[in-house]
């Protein structure tokens, strides 16, 4: 591994903390790459071995980077502090270019020795809120390091994976790679999967994309999409003492709900069954004391499978509601005011997608996982990610792979294990060494 260039430390740099005793075992773990190098080509074997042998300094770096990110509260649209931490780490680790785009996403670029592919890694900065605070036994934004884990909101979803990507890309020997490696710390993914990354892609135009959501370092080769749909019924207001003089929009909605619940879910041989779940219902006026509601809005969460399009999803709903009047169906229009002052807007449709299991990106992920001592396996993803932008909207070959367990998403006492975090650095570094060699 090359000796990384570091600017002089400043008072903004993260403080180094002593490496925990149990981390001494990690070097032996990463040396497992030697056992698999013989299965690969000679060139890849050399690069693989070097990339996956993460030393004590890099272990300290990824732990410190993750903790800095977790300490920064970063709801969608309010990621400034986390973005500054990501930018600081990219500059500290010697990225060639570090920039912040109009929406507030941070993009770091590393150039290789010669022309080659552009490989882009993405992780989102924003998190959901820390709720049920009385149940937390670890400070949600304390980034406590104990029991071999880093605790706090976003540790798994997805500041730990983002820290691993930032450190992995910086660890590569640029004299031995071709092309360009980009890492983005993107904004607003928890509100809109895809648009912030799509804005980065429109400017950078990568050939391959790695989405760092947590998969326990399995290779995610397909992902369900998501759509937010609003169904509205209209009626006629009246005093509730004489309801026959009005037209109750809620009663109309009861018929709508019954029909939509009866729709047979589409089935996908790779991704499984689609989902349509009612998640919100509101009548108007609200509160509605002594008045027959003249409007009712219901929000549905649709989980999409391959082949479903913006048009086909709404057509299926409208067909099921045939014969009912005073009913409207549309995608939600989502607006996220960004901390930069710009506004991110999109309809709430994010398609499903897949990558062929024999694609070079998948082969690289499986080889890298094996090299880092992780059983090489593929998987599919039930939740939605920024891959709906890169792969679903734009058709760029993409894969989901990241350290951490998705069971930790949005829960009380969220954590990521240091073992997964440091193995994640090894997996990303080895993938990049292979793909850019």
Residue 194 shares a structural domain with residue 229: no
Residue 259 shares a structural domain with residue 122: no
Residue 210 shares a structural domain with residue 261: no
Number of domains the chain contains: 2
Q: What is the pLDDT of residue 320?
A: 97
132: in domain: yes
What are the E-state strand segments in 74-213? 97-100, 106-111, 114-124, 145-146, 149-151, 178-186, 208-211
Q: What is the pLDDT of residue 39?
A: 36
Higher-pLDDT residue of 26, 113? 113
CB atoms within 10 A of CB 2: 13
DSSP 437: -
> Quick check: 364 pLDDT over 80?
yes
Residue 366 shares a structural domain with residue 284: no
Q: What is the pLDDT of residue 5?
A: 45
**Which of these ranges, 27-31, 61-65, 221-225, 341-345, has the smallest mean pLDDT?**
27-31
> Quick check: 218 pLDDT over 80?
yes
Average pLDDT over residues 406-428: 96
Average pLDDT over residues 348-374: 97
Residue 68 shares a structural domain with residue 176: yes
Q: What is the pLDDT of residue 9?
A: 39
DSSP 263: S
Residue 384 shares a structural domain with residue 336: no
Residues of the chain above pLDDT 70, percent: 88
Residue 316 shares a structural domain with residue 378: no
> Quick check: 30 pLDDT over 80?
no
Residue 341 shares a structural domain with residue 235: yes
Q: What is the pLDDT of residue 239?
A: 96
> Quick check: 14 pLDDT over 50?
no
Q: What is the pLDDT of residue 117?
A: 96
β-pair type (225-234, 327-331):
antiparallel
Residue 387 shares a structural domain with residue 287: no
CA distance 387 to 34: 32
> What does pLDDT average to over the chain?
90
Q: Quick one: pLDDT band at residue 50, thresholds 50, 70, 90?
A: low
What are the E-state strand segments in 6-128? 97-100, 106-111, 114-124
6: in domain: no
Query: Angle CA(427)–CA(166)–CA(205) in degrees, nearest 5?
Result: 95
- Of the three residues 347, 379, 409, the one that is the final residue of a domain is 347
3: in domain: no
Q: Quick one: pLDDT band at residue 35, thresholds 50, 70, 90?
A: very low
Q: What is the pLDDT of residue 45?
A: 56
Q: What is the pLDDT of residue 311?
A: 97
Residue 179 shares a structural domain with residue 248: no
395: in domain: yes
> Quick check: 225 pLDDT over 90?
yes
**Which of these ranges, 14-23, 291-300, 376-385, 425-434, has the smallest mean pLDDT?**
14-23
Q: What is the pLDDT of residue 57?
A: 87
> Quick check: 19 pLDDT over 60?
no
105: in domain: yes
Query: Angle CA(169)–CA(172)–CA(176) in degrees, nearest 5?
Result: 135
Q: What is the pLDDT of residue 54?
A: 66
Average pLDDT over residues 268-289: 95
CA distance 102 to 343: 9
Element of type H or E holding 417: strand 415-417
Backbone angles phi, psi at 65, to 5 degrees: -65, -45
Residue 127 shares a structural domain with residue 84: yes
Q: Which domain holds residue 268?
A: 225-347
Residue 327 shares a structural domain with residue 356: no
- Of the three residues 322, 347, 372, the one that is the final residue of a domain is 347
Residues of the chain above pLDDT 90, percent: 85
Residue for token pair 């993409």: 398
Average pLDDT over residues 223-247: 97
CB atoms within 10 A of CB 6: 12
Q: What is the pLDDT of residues 82-131, one digit of tens each?
A: 999 999 999 999 999 999 999 999 999 999 999 999 999 999 999 999 99
Higher-pLDDT residue of 317, 17? 317
- Of the three residues 294, 328, 347, the one that is the final residue of a domain is 347
Q: What is the DSSP string of 186-248?
A: ES-TTTSSSHHHHHHHHHH--SEEEE---STT-EEEEE-EEEEEEEEEE-B--BTTSGGGSB-
11: in domain: no
1: in domain: no
């Amino acid at each position: 591994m090359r000796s990384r260039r570091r600017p002089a430390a400043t008072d903004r740099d993260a403080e180094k903390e002593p490496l925990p005793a149990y981390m001494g075992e990690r070097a032996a773990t990463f040396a497992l790459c030697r056992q698999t190098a013989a299965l690969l080509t000679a060139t890849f074997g050399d690069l693989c071995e070097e990339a996956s042998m993460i030393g004590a300094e890099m272990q300290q770096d990824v732990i410190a980077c993750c903790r800095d990110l977790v300490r920064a509260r970063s709801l969608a649209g309010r990621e400034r502090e986390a973005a500054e931490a990501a930018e600081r780490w990219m500059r500290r680790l010697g990225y060639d270019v570090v920039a912040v785009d109009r929406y507030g996403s941070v993009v770091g670029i590393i150039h290789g020795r010669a022309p080659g592919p552009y490989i882009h890694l993405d992780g989102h900065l924003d998190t959901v809120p820390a709720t049920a605070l009385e149940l937390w036994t670890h400070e949600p934004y304390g980034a406590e390091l104990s029991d071999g884990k880093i605790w706090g909101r976003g540790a798994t979803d997805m500041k730990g994976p983002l820290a691993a990507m930032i450190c992995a890309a910086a660890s590569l020997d640029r004299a031995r790679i071709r092309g360009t490696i980009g890492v983005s710390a993107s904004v607003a993914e928890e509100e809109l999967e895809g648009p912030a990354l799509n804005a980065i892609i429109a400017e950078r135009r990568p050939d391959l994309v790695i989405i760092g959501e947590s998969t326990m370092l399995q290779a995610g080769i397909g992902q369900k999409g998501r759509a937010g749909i609003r169904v509205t019924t209209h009626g006629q207001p009246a005093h509730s003492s004489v309801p026959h003089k009005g037209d109750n929009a809620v009663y109309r909605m009861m018929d709508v709900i019954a029909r939509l619940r009866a729709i047979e879910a589409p089935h996908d041989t790779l991704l499984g069954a689609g989902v349509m779940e009612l998640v919100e219902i509101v009548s108007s006026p609200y509160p509605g004391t002594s008045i027959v509601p003249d409007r009712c809005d219901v929000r549905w969460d649709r989980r999409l499978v391959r082949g479903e399009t913006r048009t086909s999803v709404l057509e299926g709903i409208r067909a099921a509601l045939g014969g009912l009047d005073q009913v409207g169906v549309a995608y939600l229009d989502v607006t996220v005011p960004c901390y930069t002052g710009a506004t991110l807007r999109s309809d709430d449709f994010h398609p499903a997608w897949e990558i062929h299991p024999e694609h070079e990106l998948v082969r690289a992920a499986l080889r890298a996982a094996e090299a880092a001592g992780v059983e090489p396996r593929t998987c599919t993803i039930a939740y939605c990610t920024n891959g709906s932008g890169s792969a679903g909207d734009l058709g760029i070959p993409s894969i989901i792979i990241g350290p951490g367990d998705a069971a930790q998403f949005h829960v009380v006492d969220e954590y990521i294990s240091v073992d997964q975090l440091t193995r994640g650095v090894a997996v990303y570094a080895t993938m990049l060494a292979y793909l850019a060699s």
